[in-house]
């Protein structure tokens, strides 16, 4: 009888101890902490959220990666950081991520469904948030968690922010290159068919006259242009602009005249050339009858 009682007591202790150990292991796991983050977001509990998310450290990791060692950028980033934290806290209390925050929406989506797989490496752990780059490409943002002395885990930084920034910089460069190519194709539709410089004297006045014949090979009426006339051999470079009414397939002559100034040597050098077509007409922007414009260097969509 006594033996049975001892065995029963020992079994209760072992089972109870095992349960306590299992509960302790569970509450000290990164998965449990991530569930608490999800619960804090769901219940709009900013204090519980800040227990498991070191907001300051996460934001500082953003600033450090963006600044990339630049002291001025770090200082400016610090100023931005003080503005961002209240916005994050407000988003938690309101229960909604800012509409322009890919990170916020990614967190909300990730924690709102099945929790992600966590890669635990000692006192460090990682999980990913699926989001889109500015260019719309899918990207897995890697989030770092660390185990604090009390045993629970805190989100404290984004581990691959530099990689995200590099991808987005490549996307932006590709976007600008595509727009530049498209703009050059549009500008090339206004063709310089013929050109002639003549040196004009009218009494005491002397002028450099540039006559240019333009042809519109595009499908829209051109109503204006800006650009430069350049005579490389004389070091001459002068801005030009003009109003046009040049329909598709039409051509017209445009004339620009510039005074010769004895104190501006390049105007004298051009005047000395007499009749010549050895100059460049660089068209840099066009305006169209539909109200649109195209300009070299404009990278807006």
Domain ranges in the chain are: 20-167, 189-295
**Predicted pLDDT of residue 8:** 43
198 beta partners: 209
pTM tops 0.75, yes or no:
no
39 touches 92 (CB < 8 A): no
Question: What interhelical angle do 55-67 and 71-94 show, nearest 10?
Answer: 140
Structural fold of domain 20-167: Nuclear Transport Factor 2; Chain: A, (3.10.450)
- In angstroms, the CA 13 to CA 115 distance is 34
CA geometry: angle 180, 181, 185, nearest 5 deg: 115
**Predicted pLDDT of residue 220:** 97
19 touches 25 (CB < 8 A): no
The tens place of each residue's pLDDT in the chain, 301 residues long, gives 555 544 444 334 344 444 555 778 899 999 999 999 888 888 899 999 999 999 999 888 877 776 666 554 455 555 666 777 888 888 888 877 665 565 666 666 666 667 788 999 999 999 998 889 999 999 999 999 999 999 999 999 999 988 998 999 999 999 999 999 999 999 999 999 999 999 999 989 999 999 999 999 999 999 999 999 999 999 999 999 999 999 999 999 999 999 999 999 999 999 999 999 999 999 999 999 999 999 999 988 7
230 touches 237 (CB < 8 A): yes
Strands 119-121 and 124-132: antiparallel
CATH placement of domain 189-295: 2.60.40
- In angstroms, the CA 129 to CA 97 distance is 14
């Amino acid at each position: 009888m006594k033996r049975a009682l001892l065995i029963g007591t020992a079994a209760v202790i072992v089972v109870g101890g095992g349960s306590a150990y299992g509960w302790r292991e569970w509450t000290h796991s990164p998965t449990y902490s991530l569930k608490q983050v999800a619960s804090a977001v769901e219940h709009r509990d900013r204090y519980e959220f800040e227990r498991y998310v070191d907001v300051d450290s996460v934001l500082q990791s953003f600033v450090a990666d963006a600044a990339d060692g630049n002291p001025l950028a770090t200082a400016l980033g610090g100023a931005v950081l003080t503005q961002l934290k209240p916005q994050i806290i407000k988003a938690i209390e309101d229960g909604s991520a800012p509409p322009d925050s890919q990170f916020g929406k990614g967190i909300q989506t990730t924690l709102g469904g099945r929790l992600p797989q966590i890669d635990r490496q000692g006192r460090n752990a990682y999980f990913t948030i699926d989001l889109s780059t500015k260019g719309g490409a899918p990207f897995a943002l890697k989030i770092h968690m660390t185990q604090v002395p009390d045993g629970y885990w805190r989100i404290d930084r984004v581990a691959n922010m530099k990689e995200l920034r590099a991808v987005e910089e490549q996307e932006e460069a590709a976007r600008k290159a595509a727009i530049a190519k498209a703009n050059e194709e549009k500008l090339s539709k206004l063709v310089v068919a013929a050109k002639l410089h003549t040196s004009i004297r009218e009494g005491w006045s002397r002028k450099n006259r540039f006559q240019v014949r333009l042809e519109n090979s595009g499908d829209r009426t051109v109503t204006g242009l800006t650009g430069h006339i350049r005579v490389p051999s004389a070091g001459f470079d002068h801005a030009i602009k003009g109003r046009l009414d040049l329909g598709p397939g039409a051509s017209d002559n445009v004339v620009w005249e510039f005074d010769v100034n004895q104190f501006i040597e390049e105007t004298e050098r051009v005047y000395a050339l007499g009749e010549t077509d050895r100059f460049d007409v660089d068209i840099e922007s066009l305006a169209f009858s539909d109200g649109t414009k195209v300009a070299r260097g404009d990278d807006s969509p």
